[in-house]
């Protein structure tokens, strides 16, 4: 019998008031029941928000360096449990163990980075235009912060959101993705073991409709941080708009690698394989388009296809496996549909893959083939839409200008990359590609926690997570004027 996991509310592990549960199964082997989780409702969300609101009264007054120390301990504890957490993550999500170790490491990095931020969180002091007057700006917390997180980075993304929120003095209610609640349960246990006060972090599992919706609409939740689809992001934005509550949105991508005629082709192929098929293509930053200069198009394509065909697909717990399954049956079906669209509607040239992997152990999981379409053109559906699976489109281009134009020809703006040996090409692309993240001679994936993460256009709403910039999501500015002149001093008037 699989373990039953409960919600974490006010420092206690509680069953949902609904009495309902849902199953979480291993996408590489659906006979493997990972756990049973609470199928919660608005009532549970209400309890979690109440606990967070109560805990906020004290947590906001804990000195930020102390909050930072706790987060440092969270990092140490995550490190201690890294292997166990990563193994369980592969089991519930499917991506290969090397990558889940990276996912856990990203949460550790974030904890260390923000532990230090507890002693910084810089404001400004400025001279006054008056005599005997002091002024400064400082960050203040918002209150209860709500987090709605995706399944593709089951602990890294919760850490990107919760760690900065906590250091700023907010308290948190998180709704994990229904495919990956165990990783967030593990995260909550780490907080608990590090002695976080009851109610400072809370977790409610369940569906978007029954948990996500009440969380985003509750007026006590002062900021909602969401990562997921553009459609749900729009809904979060609308839910917060009427009360002017803050929201931070991190949504889709249709990221491109540009390969110029002077590129090191083998290096570019490495990047296209890693960016296209790493995490089974289920990254917001996945390299789902590769735009290749016509002079090296054939050479690149031949090598790329050869490498994709050699990828070992299977259960991500086996160290030698390169690519795991899709996270779920429905995600697999979406990807299979795009493969059909590529073949039949877009009529792109299928170079390899194009379907589901079947036979033997594959029949127990949601495995798709590494798939490459060539001669893809702007206007085709597979050029435009985010697929979130093991499908890469290769697009020919005439020169750098054409490549940049095609790279920018998308409603999204998360990540992009260029492979070139020409520094002029590289800087022109850095300037003219309109994305939040850009790589030179590296793939579209691989962001580090101390730089801002996020995108332009339909990818985001102007915010960034990670980096020092995440502080802006989870705090507000207060400007403070201290007049020690003992008399009325009127700004803009008395100093003229
Ligand atoms: C995502 O693409 O969904 O940049 C997150 C990376 C990781 C995070 C990716 N550090 O590849």
- Spatial separation of the C-alpha atoms in residues 272 and 260, rounded to whole Å: 13
For the Cβ of 447 lying below 6 angstroms from any atom of ligand 1, the answer is yes
7-251+460-479 in CATH: which number? 3.40.605.10
How high does pLDDT run on average in the chain? 97
For the Cβ of 16 lying below 6 angstroms from any atom of ligand 1, the answer is no
5 pLDDT higher than 80: yes
Residue to substitute in 96, 447, 449, 451 for testing ligand 1 pocket (most ligand atoms within 8 angstroms of CB): 447
77 pLDDT higher than 90: yes
Question: For 366-384, what is each residue's pLDDT tens digit?
Answer: 999 999 999 999 999 999 9
Containing 85, the helix (H) or strand (E) segment is helix 82-93
CA terminus-to-terminus distance, the chain: 79
196 pLDDT higher than 80: yes
Which residue ranges does the chain devote to CATH 3.40.605.10? 7-251+460-479
CATH topology classification for 256-440: Aldehyde Dehydrogenase; Chain A, domain 2 (3.40.309)
Q: What is the pLDDT of residue 1?
A: 72
Question: For 209-242, what is each residue's pLDDT tens digit?
Answer: 999 999 999 999 999 999 999 999 999 999 999 9
Model confidence at 464, in pLDDT bands (50, 70, 90)? very high
For the Cβ of 190 lying below 6 angstroms from any atom of ligand 1, the answer is no
Q: What is the pLDDT of residue 28?
A: 98
Neighbours of 415 (CB within 10 A): 31
Cα 86 to ligand 1 centre (Å): 16
Nearest-atom number in ligand 1 for the CA of 152 is 3
Q: What is the pLDDT of residue 379?
A: 96
Model confidence at 496, in pLDDT bands (50, 70, 90)? confident
Cα 447 to ligand 1 centre (Å): 6
Q: What is the pLDDT of residue 325?
A: 98
The predicted model scores a pTM of 0.97
Which residue ranges does the chain devote to CATH 3.40.309.10? 256-440
For the Cβ of 106 lying below 6 angstroms from any atom of ligand 1, the answer is yes
Q: What is the pLDDT of residue 495?
A: 80
Question: For 27-75, what is each residue's pLDDT tens digit?
Answer: 999 999 999 999 999 999 999 999 999 999 999 999 999 999 999 999 9
Nearest-atom number in ligand 1 for the CA of 150 is 3
Please state the rounded mean pLDDT for residues 94-98.
98
Residue to substitute in 95, 153, 281 for testing ligand 1 pocket (most ligand atoms within 8 angstroms of CB): 153
For the Cβ of 445 lying below 6 angstroms from any atom of ligand 1, the answer is yes
Q: What is the pLDDT of residue 2?
A: 87
- Spatial separation of the C-alpha atoms in residues 89 and 155, rounded to whole Å: 8
Those residues with Cβ within 8 angstroms of residue 327's Cβ, 6 or more apart along the chain or in another chain:
27, 93, 94, 151, 152, 179, 180, 280, 282, 366
Query: Active-site residues: which are they?
Result: 250, 284
Pair 61, 168: CB distance under 8 Å: no
């Amino acid at each position: 019998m699989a373990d039953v996991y409960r919600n974490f509310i006010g420092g206690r592990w509680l069953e949902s008031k609904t009495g309902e549960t849902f199953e979480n199964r291993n996408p590489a082997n659906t006979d493997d029941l990972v756990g049973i989780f609470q199928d919660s409702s608005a009532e549970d969300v209400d309890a979690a928000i109440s606990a967070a609101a109560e805990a906020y009264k004290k947590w906001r007054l804990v000195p930020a360096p102390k909050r930072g120390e706790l987060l440092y301990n969270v990092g140490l504890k995550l490190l201690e449990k890294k292997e166990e957490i990563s193994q369980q993550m592969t089991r519930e999500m499917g991506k290969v163990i090397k990558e889940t170790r990276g996912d856990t490491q990203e949460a550790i990095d974030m904890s260390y980075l923000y532990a230090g931020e507890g002693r910084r969180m810089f404001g400004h002091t400025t001279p006054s235009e008056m005599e005997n007057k002091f002024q400064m700006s400082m960050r203040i917390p918002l209150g209860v912060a709500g987090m709605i997180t995706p399944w593709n980075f089951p602990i890294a993304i919760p850490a990107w959101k919760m760690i900065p929120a906590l250091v700023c003095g907010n308290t948190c209610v998180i709704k994990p993705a229904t495919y990956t609640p165990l990783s967030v349960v593990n995260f909550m246990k780490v907080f608990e073991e590090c002695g976080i006060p009851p109610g400072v972090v809370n977790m409610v599992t369940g569906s978007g409709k029954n948990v996500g919706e009440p969380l985003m609409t509750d007026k006590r939740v002062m900021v909602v941080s969401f990562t997921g689809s553009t459609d749900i992001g729009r809904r979060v934005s609308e839910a917060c708009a009427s009360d002017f509550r803050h929201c931070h949105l991190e949504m889709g991508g249709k990221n491109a690698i540009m390969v110029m005629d002077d590129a090191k082709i083998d290096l570019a192929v490495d990047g296209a394989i890693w960016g296209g098929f790493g995490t089974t293509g289920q990254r917001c930053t996945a390299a789902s388009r590769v735009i290749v200069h016509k002079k090296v198009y054939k050479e690149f394509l031949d090598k790329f296809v050869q490498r994709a065909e050699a990828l070992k697909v299977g259960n991500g717990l086996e160290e030698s496996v390169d690519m795991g399954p899709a996270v779920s049956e429905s995600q697999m079906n979406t990807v299979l549909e795009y493969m059909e669209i590529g073949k039949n509607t877009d009529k792109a040239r299928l170079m390899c893959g194009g379907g589901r992997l079947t036979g033997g152990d594959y029949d127990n999981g949601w495995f798709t083939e590494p798939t490459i379409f060539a001669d893809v053109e702007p206007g085709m559906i597979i050029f435009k839409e985010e697929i979130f699976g093991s499908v890469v489109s290769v697009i020919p281009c005439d020169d750098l200008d054409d490549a940049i134009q095609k790279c920018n020809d998308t409603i999204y703006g998360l990540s992009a990359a260029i492979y070139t040996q020409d520094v002029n090409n590289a800087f022109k692309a850095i300037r003219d590609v309109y994305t939040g993240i850009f790589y030179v001679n590296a793939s579209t994936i691989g962001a580090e926690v101390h730089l801002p993460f996020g995108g332009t256009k339909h990818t985001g709403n102007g915010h960034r997570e990670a980096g020092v910039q995440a502080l802006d999501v989870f705090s507000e500015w207060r400007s403070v004027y201290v007049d020690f002149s003992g008399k009325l001093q009127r700004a803009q008037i008395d100093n003229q």
